[in-house]
Structures are given as structure tokens and as C-alpha cells.
Amino acid sequence: MLFPPPSPIPESSVFHPQAGLSLCCRLAAGVLTLTLALFSQWQPGRAAEPGQPPARPDRARFDPRPLVARARAAGLQVFQGTHLVLLTDCLPQAAGLAELPNVFDQAFLVWCHHYGLKPDDYADWQACGCLIVDRERFRRAGLLPERLPDFANGYCDHHRFWLVEQSNPAYRRHLFLHEGVHAFTATLLNLNTPTWYTEGIAEWLATHRFVEGQSQFQHTPIPVAPDDVEQLGRIEMMRRLRQSAEAPSLEQVFALKPTLHGTISSYASAWAAVALLAEHPRYQQVFAATERQPLDSSFTRRLTSQPGWNATTASRDFDAFTADLDYGFECERMAIDWSVGRQLPATGATATVTATRGWQNSDWQLEAGRRYRLQASGRCRVGQLQRADGLLDLESTAAGISLDWYRGRPPQFQILAEGTAATFTAAIDGPLFLKINNRPANLTMSDGQLAVDIVSVDD
């Protein structure tokens, strides 16, 4: 929670919303254990041969018209857009049904863009979705084949997908698009990738903000605000996994096994892995390059053998990502430089901490067992509040008033000191990391920097 300032506040006053400089020593090795039991209701299409470019789309004509005829004969509702036919036994007055084909058509453009496909080349591509209240009714209508497994929420088989009606229209829309991504990737890209990518990319491409009134789909792969993704809960789930020390490592996510009934934690973890790889400046290019190759079972191996891939760094980045993940998280601002840094001169040194980024490497190494004193100075902007008379800058000194720590302390960093001045003993050899304790979403509204003097006090 962002604590609003007590009112009235004079414009010139200094406000310290949960600010406070936090200092820490190098990432400690943590053992994360989570047995992920999981997921996926996906049927592979034809896999492309390794080393070949992605196969051209499956041009076998999918004709939804017989399905539409069966639905009409059975008294089901039919909604049609350019790329989607939706068949449902939901009540006609159920909110948000009629707009789903339009939402799908907008999302289709985003998915094409993600994979570098020209939408015009696939103008006649169509999928057929069944939104189900009563499965028996669809079975009787010949629209729910016996060969399908007993899926929990959704299932996709090439151009066709099925999903169970949800009580929340926003979550229904998400699930609908999630299955739609499966249909898109299975038929246009012959996707047959490891579970983490299959499910992670479906989550990543389905996550959106919906502009009511305009019926507008806005792709927000890392949501900016909780209200934009009602009941989705991916960020909250990752937070719970961190708090219970069950957040998976990147290796554990890569090893997810397909199951019919995925758990929320497995979907959240797969989404988090794709979000990191798609948005973090260190991985963006290699990930996109791997996605332009065949989306087959060698996907993970091909990704991790790309030039420049460092498994240790990737693992550490994913750990830091899940630790700090929050609404409004921007990988660019939160990316951490893990370089080892320089030896601290006997006379000490000064580091700067910018207000616009997450954890920052001071570039100065500390030695385990030695005592150091830190003294921070300066003032910076750590957020802004919209008020009737304009934007109010929220400023902080290094001391802050630390109303409380924003989300507690990151578990994988060993916090050694906080506040304006501190003396502490370095726990291990390694670079000193510093940050201004703030929400990721506030970093775009922040500005300025603090200076931190670092000196050894043992001599």
C-alpha cells in the first residue's frame, strides 16, 4: 500500500513514503524447493524438424461451418468475428459474451506481431471456441468429442478449444485468450515446446487490460495495476511462493511436466519465466531469436545454448525477478548488474544510488568479516501523487521515515544495513548492492540520486 501523506501537505515539505536506503551484500545462495506438479492441456501439432525454419502454417482448411450448424440446431448461441467462432450455452444476458470475438481479433494482431507474422497472410485463419456451462449439452450436440480428456478449465486441440464458463468475465476473457493462444501457436506455428514455454507464452500473450466501453484489448504482459487483471492473481501467487520459500528456480520451471490439471502456481511460474525472458534486456534478443526457430521440443536446449547465455546469471536473474516482482515491474529498470566490482580503496569510496532503478551494484567489493561504515546523503523524488491542483512530488532523503518496509526485505539478499548511516560487518566477499526502497511502479515517477560514502572502519 502506498501510504498517502497526511493532509494538508505544503508543497515544499519533504515526504518519505517507505523510503530508506537498503544495503545488502551479494546474493546469497538459497535452496528453493518446490515440486511442481502440473499442467497443460495441450495436444501437439506436427513438430518441425530441428534446424529448419518454422513450418509454413497448416493450410489444411479448417471450416467451422458444420460446427456452427450443430450449435444452432442445439439452440446454442453463436458469436462470430473475423478469426473466431464462439459457441456457448451461456445465458444470452451473460455479461461480456458478445465482445469476445472482437477481443480475439484484436489479440490475434498482437500474437502475429509477437511471432513476426503478417496478419494479412492469415486473414482467413479461424478458430472455434466452445464456452461451456453444461458439458452434456455440448456432448449431445456433437461439439464435445468423447476423445477429449476430462479437462478442468480449458482444452485446446488445433483449431478448436473449449473452456468452462467462469463467474468473473475478466477471468473468463483471460482463459478464453489463453486457449486461443494455444490454437494460434498449434496451427500457425506447429508449436510442440516444453510445458513451461507452451503455458508461459499462452499466459504472457493472454494477459491484458480491457478498456470497457471501447471493447479494447491492451496487451499488458506484466500488469500495471491489479484492477486491470481481476482474479488473475499471477503476481500474488509468485509473492506467496516467495513468502513460503517455494518459488521455483528457473531450472525447475524449465523442467515442468505436462499434466491435465495445471495448478495456479505452475501457470504463474511459467508466465514469470516467459516474462523475464521476453522483457529483460539480457534475454530479450536471444529469446526472440529462439522463438523464430522451430517451436519444438528442443526449445529450451536451443535457448540455453545461444551465444551469451549464462545459466548462473539467468538463474540469479530469475530469482531476483520473482523476489521483486510486482505490478508495474519494468525489467529494464529492475535489471541487476552482477559484476564483481573493484577493491575498495583504503580511503573509502562513494557510490551513487539512482531513484529510478531497483538494486544497484555499487561497483565496490567488500570483504567478509570486515566492518564498514556507510553514510548516505542527498534527496530524491520517490514518487508523485495526483492532486486536484496538479502533481505533488514525493521527496525523500536517505533516512526516509520508513513507515514500513515496502514488502519487507528481499529474502535472497542479505540486508546488512538501512537508513542514512550504518556500520555493519560484510557477510561474504562480494560487491555491495544498494537501492532506495520503493515500489517498482513508482520508479517511473522517481528522479534524482543519493550519494553513499563507503569506508572500512577496521583499520
Which CB, 15 or 162, lies closer to Zn ion?
162
Residues pairing with 366 in the sheet: 430
Nearest distance in Å: CB 42, Zn ion: 6
Which CB, 202 or 450, lies closer to Zn ion?
202
Vertex 441: Cα angle to 338 and 374 (nearest 5): 50
Nearest distance in Å: CB 231, Zn ion: 17
Nearest distance in Å: CB 175, Zn ion: 9
Which CB, 79 or 267, lies closer to Zn ion?
267
Cα gap 313→282, rounded to integer Å? 10
Return the number of other C-beta atoms located less than 10 Å from residue 326's C-beta.
17
Nearest distance in Å: CB 130, Zn ion: 16
Helix (H) or strand (E) holding 361, with range, is strand 360-366
Which CB, 207 or 356, lies closer to Zn ion?
207
Return the number of other C-beta atoms located less than 10 Å from residue 333's C-beta.
15
Phi, psi torsion values for 357, nearest 5 degrees? -130, 165
Which CB, 16 or 160, lies closer to Zn ion?
160
For residue 180, which of 149, 152, 196, 202 has the smallest C-alpha distance? 202
CB neighbour class for 110 (10 Å; exposed up to 12, middle 13-18, buried from 19): middle
For residue 181, which of 162, 160, 205, 158 has the smallest C-alpha distance? 205
Which CB, 190 or 362, lies closer to Zn ion?
190
Which CB, 104 or 413, lies closer to Zn ion?
104
- Chain-centre distance for alpha carbon 248: 14
Residues that bind Zn ion (CB under 5 A): 199, 202
Nearest distance in Å: CB 262, Zn ion: 7
Give residue 384's identity as a one-letter amino acid code: Q
Return the number of other C-beta atoms located less than 10 Å from residue 343's C-beta.
11
Give residue 111's identity as a one-letter amino acid code: W
Cα gap 435→332, rounded to integer Å? 15
Nearest distance in Å: CB 189, Zn ion: 15
- Chain-centre distance for alpha carbon 238: 10
Place of cell 545454448: 305
Which CB, 202 or 256, lies closer to Zn ion?
202
Nearest distance in Å: CB 413, Zn ion: 33
Nearest distance in Å: CB 352, Zn ion: 45
Nearest distance in Å: CB 188, Zn ion: 16
For residue 451, which of 359, 357, 356, 355 has the smallest C-alpha distance? 355
- C-alpha torsion sign, points 183, 186, 192, 194: negative
| Cell numbers standing for residue 289 | 531469436
